[in-house]
Chain A
């Protein structure tokens, strides 16, 4: 631009001044927009970009009602009510309304909370239902806000409490399936990132917007049958009332699949009110978390091992003198007087320890429980039937138990003579049930499970879970048939009258001593009963295991646990509509 400004004129001076200022501006703009561009983009994003987590909905839990999944654990929308003490206008009205509507869910000392003017956030009520929240909203209280949340609801109350577990205040599953499959139930939170205007209204400007929807948690369907569970809990409670037992557990398994149909533990609690529980031991699922010395139930496994190795047959005989020497120890029978030359069936019927030690000796050189005998017992108990190892059931806090191997210094002949009748080892009920199922179902080990499958988001379509790996021919089919018949005989020898006629049942009592601080105590025994039932020997439908105990109580398998088995077994035959064939 030709300006023709005279040299030294004031106008020329102004032009120069203007040019200098503009040059400074351009340099400054270059600094702001090019050099510091990233810095200012950062500042801009800090206030313009808003992220919103879309919470994933926790999966609901179903039980079976026959073949139909029904909801056992539901989600409910609840609100946390908070107030901003700086903004509120009528604290008395707020207190009145909250206490009237929320009742027990209102926090104590509301007047003090609302008087804290220096704070901006005070929770004044929790777990307020949608209906209650609407009532509070209607009052149009200034400075009172609502925060949406979700809580678990248990329409069946205490049913299967330890199997379910609960969800803590932070939304994490504890105990039971809630704890074990927490990740699957949680799902994945979604993320909504958006550029917003100053009032947080999302804008469709730019390329920084993200919309990742939440992936809701899986809706799990349990193998637990609501009706069987319910009846089992009732039967267990009644049986315990008769014996005076303070603790009891019972579980029912399908021997042909490993599916757990019921798992009951008493005393119990309501997962919806887990916070009110005084003794947290009730959270424990006794069937999986409390290893115990199983006692005589294990004799069925010893017999199975003997049969499978061909060292005995049901009619094999030995001379029972009510005591037997193992190295420097003498082992006696609990039931005395069945002396003389008797069969193995007889020894099983009367739960004679001497018979079991004899089998252990015959697995060796016939008179001693040799290393080879011990290896064989360990192989059957631990390797094949998986005692002393976690089953991998989908429940939190499963215990392992202990089976001492022959390689251990403590794994000598005395130890293994004891193990032959279920002492000197620690196992869980679920391990015993799985092992027992294996020896009576034809020899296949099924891993116990409580998950039948999943339901889709609408709760309309059921997808079965993939079958867990099973192990066939753990014992031979023939062995299984024989031992099944022996266990059947052991029951009918005494209890035939109590069972429904025309069905095939079997069972074994167990009365085990209690170890306290590494020593057996005299005044406390745990009574167990382990049995099966079905239309016929080839159509077994259930394995039931019952365990009862009480502090300083000598509870016996036959007297105190067995009746509970009988009760449940007879009910199950009706419930399952089994046809009599015997």
Chain B
């Protein structure tokens, strides 16, 4: 009885004391929205894969890329990502919580090895334009260690902040903010400084900001952190000329068609051309012309624009609604999780996903400078898909431990109620006997 209870329930310590929360049915809406988005991504890969293959074959003068090359690769990526989702949903979160520090250290180590490999010029480091972001794994493709670092940072910070919150020291400068700040700074140096990956860097910061906000930093500290973040952003923009150019491009508006071929300007203008020419209902599946080489990164970072051309305004609104639904679902899960570590991890997943979606879409529709970030679940590319799916897997696992009922600050959970109105409480007092 107790054995069973231990397998299907978890101990929760809260201000009101220790509870045992029974594991229940997870939030399948997470899977629903994720699955629909993945499916849309697969459809668009199927539709523009042949054009993309054609463009590459022409560019490299080969016939290496078959018309189903990208569709098949995306299918494989999706299967791997679904595997990661399932794995992260099944691996007990306690294991992840326990080894969070190790995951973070591995993430840092991977970044350091990549930086070193890139510096000495080892083949395993995959570099372009002086920035090494990927490990080349040969037949297994390539992997981006920054994603692992991001993940490690999320689960580690959840533990660290959770501890400080319980100690009531979340706003403490010396014991909380400075150590965390140093940690984040090192990560930022790796991701934005060395790998020159502004997009992933911003997503990492957004993820942390989301966790801290949910963790309950004071408005004063929060304001100061936001200010620091903005200043850091400006500094990073100023020290890297290509970012200055991107900002100038953003401010300049669309004129790339008539004026020269400034890369970033060309990219954004063509994203807008693709989206704008899609109109209300789109040109239809397989009829995208911008995907035939006009719009850069058509299958990766620009997939939102190609979807705009293909599915039109209606299609893009549906996609945004799916993302919004998924994100709100995460907030709902976070709200009802009784444990602070759980809450922070789901808040982190929310920040991660939201940052990617918002930064990508904002760049494509020309309301924010281009940061070179993928659109989660839709863009072609394994690493991004793998880690987002993994992160969602954790959130899905944690959705089994939500508790419904109004919370009382003094006493914790006051009026237990059933999620499905079956009259079964979802938690029990630690001292009581859980019902199996």
A493 interface hit (Cβ, 8 Å): no
Whether A19 contacts B292 by the Cβ 8 Å rule is: no
B: number of interface residues (CB 8 Å): 58
Say yes or no: A197-B54 contact (C-beta < 8 A), given A11-B334, A25-B361, A32-B365: yes
B336 interface hit (Cβ, 8 Å): yes
Whether A37 contacts B335 by the Cβ 8 Å rule is: no
A225–B214 Cα distance when bound, in Å, is 101
Whether B335 contacts A11 by the Cβ 8 Å rule is: yes
Question: Which residues between 148 and 177 of chain A lie within 8 Å of chain B, taking CB atoms?
Answer: none
A46–B324 Cα distance when bound, in Å, is 35
Most chain B CB neighbours (cut-off 10 Å) among A14, A15, A24, A26: A14
Whether B320 contacts A22 by the Cβ 8 Å rule is: yes
B67 interface hit (Cβ, 8 Å): no
Say yes or no: A5-B332 contact (C-beta < 8 A), given A29-B313, A39-B276, A197-B293: yes
CB distance from A21 to the nearest CB of B (A): 6
B143 interface hit (Cβ, 8 Å): no
A28–B320 Cα distance when bound, in Å, is 12
Of all chain A residues, which has the CB nearest B254?
Answer: A43
Of all chain B residues, which has the CB nearest A44?
Answer: B277
B347 interface hit (Cβ, 8 Å): yes
A40–B312 Cα distance when bound, in Å, is 13
A576–B290 Cα distance when bound, in Å, is 70
Which residues of A lie under 8 Å from residue B210 when comparing CB positions?
14
Which residues of A lie under 8 Å from residue B287 when comparing CB positions?
205-206
Whether B279 contacts A34 by the Cβ 8 Å rule is: yes
Which residues of B lie under 8 Å from residue A34 when comparing CB positions?
279-280, 313
Whether B289 contacts A205 by the Cβ 8 Å rule is: yes
CB distance from B36 to the nearest CB of A (A): 15
Whether B332 contacts A47 by the Cβ 8 Å rule is: no
A577–B58 Cα distance when bound, in Å, is 68
Whether A197 contacts B55 by the Cβ 8 Å rule is: yes
Whether A197 contacts B51 by the Cβ 8 Å rule is: yes
B367 interface hit (Cβ, 8 Å): yes
A199 interface hit (Cβ, 8 Å): yes
A13 interface hit (Cβ, 8 Å): yes
Question: Which residues between 258 and 295 of chain B lie within 8 Å of chain A, taking CB atoms?
Answer: 269, 272-280, 283, 286-290, 292-294
Whether B213 contacts A40 by the Cβ 8 Å rule is: no
Whether B55 contacts A24 by the Cβ 8 Å rule is: no
A33–B336 Cα distance when bound, in Å, is 39
Which residues of A lie under 8 Å from residue B347 when comparing CB positions?
11, 14
CB distance from B436 to the nearest CB of A (A): 27
Whether B275 contacts A40 by the Cβ 8 Å rule is: yes
Whether B365 contacts A25 by the Cβ 8 Å rule is: yes
Whether A3 contacts B55 by the Cβ 8 Å rule is: no
B404 interface hit (Cβ, 8 Å): yes
A203–B54 Cα distance when bound, in Å, is 11
Whether B275 contacts A32 by the Cβ 8 Å rule is: yes
A10 interface hit (Cβ, 8 Å): yes
Of all chain A residues, which has the CB nearest B59?
Answer: A199
Of all chain B residues, which has the CB nearest A198?
Answer: B293
Whether A18 contacts B289 by the Cβ 8 Å rule is: no
Interface of B is mostly: helix
A106–B320 Cα distance when bound, in Å, is 63
Whether B324 contacts A18 by the Cβ 8 Å rule is: yes
CB distance from B213 to the nearest CB of A (A): 5
A85–B361 Cα distance when bound, in Å, is 44
Whether B367 contacts A24 by the Cβ 8 Å rule is: yes
Interface of A is mostly: helix
Whether A28 contacts B276 by the Cβ 8 Å rule is: no
Whether A1 contacts B325 by the Cβ 8 Å rule is: yes
Which residues of A lie under 8 Å from residue B289 when comparing CB positions?
44, 48, 195, 197, 203, 205-206
Which residues of B lie under 8 Å from residue A19 when comparing CB positions?
324
A41–B329 Cα distance when bound, in Å, is 37
Whether A47 contacts B328 by the Cβ 8 Å rule is: no
Which residues of B lie under 8 Å from residue A67 when comparing CB positions?
none
A330 interface hit (Cβ, 8 Å): no
Whether A25 contacts B362 by the Cβ 8 Å rule is: yes
B345 interface hit (Cβ, 8 Å): no
Say yes or no: A41-B276 contact (C-beta < 8 A), given A32-B365, A206-B283: yes
Whether A40 contacts B273 by the Cβ 8 Å rule is: yes
A46–B272 Cα distance when bound, in Å, is 14
Whether A5 contacts B331 by the Cβ 8 Å rule is: yes
Of all chain B residues, which has the CB nearest A204?
Answer: B287
Binary contact track B231-268/A, C-beta < 8 Å → 1, others 0: 00000000000000000000000100100000000000
B308 interface hit (Cβ, 8 Å): yes
CB distance from A178 to the nearest CB of B (A): 42
CB distance from B373 to the nearest CB of A (A): 15
CB distance from A176 to the nearest CB of B (A): 47
Whether A40 contacts B276 by the Cβ 8 Å rule is: yes
Whether A198 contacts B294 by the Cβ 8 Å rule is: yes
Say yes or no: A21-B358 contact (C-beta < 8 A), given A33-B308, A205-B289: yes
CB distance from A120 to the nearest CB of B (A): 16
Say yes or no: A22-B407 contact (C-beta < 8 A), given A13-B213, A34-B280: no
Of all chain A residues, which has the CB nearest B215?
Answer: A10
Say yes or no: A28-B277 contact (C-beta < 8 A), given A15-B331, A18-B328, A44-B290: no
A206–B329 Cα distance when bound, in Å, is 40
Partner of A36, one of B55, B276, B406, B407: B276
Whether B367 contacts A40 by the Cβ 8 Å rule is: no
Question: Which residues between 329 and 370 of chain B lie within 8 Å of chain A, taking CB atoms?
Answer: 329, 331-332, 334-336, 347, 350, 354, 358, 361-362, 365-367
Which residues of A lie under 8 Å from residue B279 when comparing CB positions?
33-34, 37, 41
Most chain B CB neighbours (cut-off 10 Å) among A5, A11, A30, A43: A11
A10–B331 Cα distance when bound, in Å, is 10
Say yes or no: A40-B272 contact (C-beta < 8 A), given A21-B358, A29-B316: yes
Which residues of B lie under 8 Å from residue A517 when comparing CB positions?
none
Which residues of B lie under 8 Å from residue A497 when comparing CB positions?
none
B389 interface hit (Cβ, 8 Å): no
A140 interface hit (Cβ, 8 Å): no
A39–B254 Cα distance when bound, in Å, is 12
A278 interface hit (Cβ, 8 Å): no
A495–B331 Cα distance when bound, in Å, is 122
CB distance from B362 to the nearest CB of A (A): 7
CB distance from A455 to the nearest CB of B (A): 43
Say yes or no: A32-B272 contact (C-beta < 8 A), given A9-B335, A41-B277: yes
Binary contact track B45-80/A, C-beta < 8 Å → 1, others 0: 000000100110010000000000000000000000
Which residues of B lie under 8 Å from residue A33 when comparing CB positions?
275-276, 278-280, 308, 312-313, 316
Whether B273 contacts A43 by the Cβ 8 Å rule is: yes
Which residues of A lie under 8 Å from residue B130 when comparing CB positions?
none
Say yes or no: A14-B273 contact (C-beta < 8 A), given A9-B335, A47-B257, A206-B283: no
Of all chain B residues, which has the CB nearest A2?
Answer: B332
Partner of A18, one of B276, B283, B327, B335: B327
Partner of A10, one of B213, B317, B404: B213
A201 interface hit (Cβ, 8 Å): yes
Which residues of B lie under 8 Å from residue A13 when comparing CB positions?
213
A519 interface hit (Cβ, 8 Å): no
Whether A14 contacts B331 by the Cβ 8 Å rule is: yes
Which residues of A lie under 8 Å from residue B223 when comparing CB positions?
none
Whether A6 contacts B335 by the Cβ 8 Å rule is: yes
Which residues of B lie under 8 Å from residue A574 when comparing CB positions?
none
Which residues of A lie under 8 Å from residue B320 when comparing CB positions?
22, 25-26, 29
**Besides A19-B324, A26-B320, A43-B277, 15 new A-B residue pairs in contact (Cβ under 8 A), listed by A number:** A1-B325, A1-B332, A10-B216, A11-B214, A14-B347, A18-B331, A28-B366, A29-B320, A37-B276, A37-B279, A43-B273, A197-B293, A198-B292, A206-B283, A206-B287
Chain A residues with CB under 8 Å of chain B are 1, 3-6, 9-11, 13-15, 18-19, 21-22, 24-26, 28-30, 32-34, 36-37, 39-41, 43-44, 46-48, 195-199, 201, 203, 205-206
Nearest first, the 7 closest Cβ-Cβ pairs linking A and B are: A40-B276, A198-B293, A197-B292, A33-B313, A44-B277, A37-B279, A32-B276
**Contact sample, A vs B, 15 pairs, CB 8 Å cutoff:** A4-B332, A4-B336, A11-B347, A14-B213, A29-B316, A32-B272, A32-B275, A32-B366, A33-B279, A37-B280, A40-B276, A41-B277, A43-B254, A43-B257, A43-B276
